[in-house]
Amino acid sequence: MTSDVTLSCSCGALSAKLLNVRPQHGFHASCDCDDCHATNNHHGVHDPKDTAIDLYQTSPSNLKILSGGENLSVLRLHKSGGLLRWYAKCCDTPMYNTMASPKLPVVGVVASNVDNPEALGPVRAQGFVKKDGKTTHKNMVGMLSRMIGRMARERISGRWRDTPFFDASTMEPVVTPYTLTADERTAAYQPR
Ligand SMILES: [Zn+2]
Ligand SMILES: [Zn+2]
């Protein structure tokens, strides 16, 4: 069984196709970490605190931009680095998370942008679950082992070079990342 799914930003200008949506190629998980919520806050996305952000993790070579690629933009929450958080600048929609190097080929696709999220299957892992004042994880080991296996196969096959996020010859992101200012960071992490 395999299926391709389409996704787009909220205004529809930036659209993409996800190939090979099946358990061997991707992992549906949710994340409740402060960084994911801060990203939503920064973009002014409705983000209930008790609702984790659904992500579909796959290889960047499975993601093909269909339209509006000129709207693809990227930010960093912290000066020190961290994930690249890609968004659609046409309508300020968070879209993807990647590592800072194409040699770590993994992308987290924000599942709420997918046209038919049921195609992603059930959520199989949860990160940063807050319960009774503690933070726990569910099946993170399963998620990480799948992620490492996928990244290794991408590296060995050379498919890691096939990515919409980086120029594989220079290793640089296709758009220069914007780092939040201290004020923007304070606003983004403000408890609600
Ligand atoms: Zn848009
Ligand atoms: Zn997160």
The tens digit of pLDDT for each residue in 144-167 reads: 999 999 999 999 999 999 999 999
119-137 confidence digits (pLDDT tens): 999 999 999 988 888 888 9
Question: What is the CA(57)–ligand 1 centre distance, in A?
Answer: 21
Query: Which-ligand-closest: CA of 47?
Result: 2
Please report the pLDDT score of residue 132 as a whole number. 84
Question: Rounded mean pLDDT of the chain?
Answer: 93
In whole angstroms, what is the distance from residue 8 CA to residue 12 CA? Answer: 5
Query: Which-ligand-closest: CA of 13?
Result: 1
Question: What is the CA(93)–ligand 1 centre distance, in A?
Answer: 7
In whole angstroms, what is the distance from residue 189 CA to residue 135 CA? Answer: 17
The third-level CATH classification (topology) of the domain covering 5-185 is 2.170.150
Is residue 113 very low, low, confident or very high in pLDDT (cuts 50, 70, 90)? very high
pLDDT at 1 over 60: no
Q: The tokens of 76 are what?
A: 């960093």
pLDDT at 14 over 90: yes
Q: Which residues pair with 5 in a beta bridge?
A: 18
Please report the pLDDT score of residue 2 as a whole number. 56
Question: What is the CA(35)–ligand 2 centre distance, in A?
Answer: 6
User: Domain spans of the chain?
Assistant: 5-185
% of the chain exceeding 70 in pLDDT: 98
Question: What is the CA(119)–ligand 1 centre distance, in A?
Answer: 22
Question: What is the CA(52)–ligand 2 centre distance, in A?
Answer: 8
In whole angstroms, what is the distance from residue 69 CA to residue 56 CA? Answer: 20
Is residue 28 very low, low, confident or very high in pLDDT (cuts 50, 70, 90)? very high
Question: What is the CA(11)–ligand 1 centre distance, in A?
Answer: 4
